[in-house]
Amino acid sequence: MAADVNGEVETRIEPKKIVSEFCHLLEKSRLLFNSLRDLPQFGGKHWQTHFGKTFDVYTRLWKFQQQNRTILDEHYHLKRWQIGEIASKIGQLYYHYYLRTSETNHLQESFAFYSAIRSRAYYSQASKEEKPDLMVKKLRYYARYTVVCLLLNKMDLVKELVQEFTHYMEEYVTVYDADDDEEWRLVISEVTAFVQADNLVSVMTPDVLPVMLSHRMKPLDIPSMHAGPPSGSVLSLQEIIIIGNCEKQVKFSELTLDMFRMLQALEREPEENPPRTLETSMSNEQLPEDRSSTETSINPKRPNPHKYLLYKPTFAQIHVFLSVGFKELPTNGVLMVYVSGDACVGSSRQGDDGPYEQGGVLTSQRKTGNEEGGAKRRPTNTKEAHCLYPDDLVPLTRKPLLVVVDCPSSHAFKFFPNLFGQPLLCLMSPSSAPVAVSELNRKGSLFTMFLYSPLVAFSYICSIADLRSDLWDSCQRQIRRILGDILRVFHDWSRAVDLTFQKFLEDDLMKMLILRYVFCFYAMHLHRAFKGSEYYPKCFPKLPTEILINGGVEKQVLELASMLDVRSLFYEVGEAPPFD
């Protein structure tokens, strides 16, 4: 105890106590963070409490080290990389909170922390510490930072990170003679291929500067109809299962291009306010305002539905997540299942249309127990164990269900049984593609691309790789006009359309998927390279001809083609071939 100049008593904490408290917080945060790995990925609300406790401890730890930096530097020998490690953990917390909630603002928070680590060079001395595990942490940080930047469409920054990632990987291998270099080279090659494959259309300003595009849903994108109030309760898309298993498709961090695109297609654009960063909004390296006490409860008006991402899952995993999504579905909620995978060929013959005979979507290349270790092969009259068949989803039709199938064998879902009278919609990709676009499989599916960004997909089928920014903006306005016209056609022919469409059109995200599906049909039906019904997407229940062949909509699509100077690639109004 000591008196200050005013005679007041000043309390001085001994350095040993400060170091002891710091070590206590450090150990407690480590234990809480590691225990997050044991939490199930699905169901329940207990994880929110655990995340809240973890956020709280890291908030205290960050502020404590900032307030006592001088003493910790002198008596604990606090290193820059240790501060970076704390910030990296907080970035990971925000990223995993995004995965749990689908709220993109948490992605921005994660980006703020990862950006601060890089700009302040917290890991700059990692290679000089004679600790190979520290260099591995640095490389893992770069991999995680890259994923966050990909999800935020910061492609220019991703390219910079890949260059730095490669440099530090080479440094790690050289300094420590590491034997896991092939694993890190694979990570770098995957992200490089991912960025290259996703860059299908380049948009440039008049000054030849690249424009970074975002394809999450914006309020301006959503066409509206001034109709009367909806009858009955309004449905809302709440739970989504995204499954990816295309063996030849580019992927990064258990995220295929189709999964990556559909993930963004089902999210709203985050708030325009720039994320708070450690550099601009907080002095003295303070932690951004703690959200754990205010945002760990489920928001009934959350802007984005909750999503599960399953990369090459077994049927057992799919079954568990489907069951949990079904269970978690609130009243008037809709469950969506999106599956992108290789074809699982059926065994049906003429007149044999029984359950599981039409085929499905292969979800994993893993072998069954009878096929492993050289055991006898699976009998030819049995079915694939890790294949999603239409009948697997029948129990889920007890509640409103939306299914999107992107696979060459998607036609297997066109006889989807609806036994419970609930709204049920299945959107299916074409089963064939023109040779000119068949190479797209590695760079993602064309059908998913239309659901993700209609203009990018339309440009691709017209072999357009570069656009001026002013032309891009004009074409986007034309796309919005087309989608608005399609919605008006739905309204004009509402009595001829299955009630499921009318119910699902009440939700903005489902409305966008349905309207983009119809635009995809028009683009493919009018394009001369798509010859026959197997080249067009299908849906169950079927849409009436009045929706799919409308002279006004066709005229607007052809106007888009004229704007892009590719009018010759398309049929005239009314000249497109008939379809089944």
Three-state DSSP state, 389: coil
Check if the beta carbon of residue 175 is closer than 8 Å to that of residue 127.
yes
The pLDDT assigned to 211 comes to 85
Position with higher pLDDT, 338 vs 367: 338
Residue 162 has which token pair? 């890949």
| Region 351-359 average pLDDT | 67
Residue 511 has which token pair? 């409305």
* Residue 481 pLDDT > 90: yes
Q: Within its chain, how far is the Cα of 317 from the centroid?
A: 19
* Residue 229 pLDDT > 80: no
Check if the beta carbon of residue 289 is closer than 8 Å to that of residue 11.
no
Q: Which residues of 478-502 are buried (b: 16+ CB within 10 A; e: fewer)?
A: bbeebbbbbbebbeeeeeebbebbb
Check if the beta carbon of residue 292 is closer than 8 Å to that of residue 59.
yes
Q: At what angle do helices 15-35 and 80-101 cross, to 10 degrees?
A: 30
Query: Per-residue pLDDT tens for 97-151?
Result: 998 888 888 999 999 999 999 999 999 887 777 778 899 999 999 999 999 999 9
* Residue 475 pLDDT > 90: yes
Query: Mean pLDDT over all residues of the chain?
Result: 85
The pLDDT assigned to 224 comes to 81
The DSSP bridge partners found for residue 387 are 362
Among candidate residues 540, 535, 334, 567, the one with its CA nearest the CA of residue 446: 535
The pLDDT assigned to 361 comes to 92
The DSSP bridge partners found for residue 245 are 341
CA atoms within 13 A on the CB side of 145: 24
Query: Per-residue pLDDT tens for 195-205?
Result: 988 888 999 98
Check if the beta carbon of residue 257 is closer than 8 Å to that of residue 249.
yes
Check if the beta carbon of residue 54 is closer than 8 Å to that of residue 37.
no
The pLDDT assigned to 354 comes to 62
Check if the beta carbon of residue 409 is closer than 8 Å to that of residue 431.
yes
* Residue 436 pLDDT > 80: no
Domain 219-269+303-345+359-364+384-569 in CATH 1.10.8? The answer is: no
The pLDDT assigned to 129 comes to 73
| CATH class of the domain at 15-203 | mainly alpha
Among candidate residues 113, 345, 328, the one with its CA nearest the CA of residue 241: 328
The pLDDT assigned to 380 comes to 56
pLDDT band (50, 70, 90) for residue 175: confident
User: Cα–Cα distance between 129 and 465 in angstroms, integer?
Assistant: 47
Query: Per-residue pLDDT tens for 503-522?
Result: 999 999 999 999 999 999 99
The ranges assigned to domains in the chain are 15-203, 219-269+303-345+359-364+384-569
Position with higher pLDDT, 38 vs 572: 572
User: Cα–Cα distance between 185 and 182 in angstroms, integer?
Assistant: 5
Give pTM, 2 decimals.
0.88
pLDDT band (50, 70, 90) for residue 441: confident
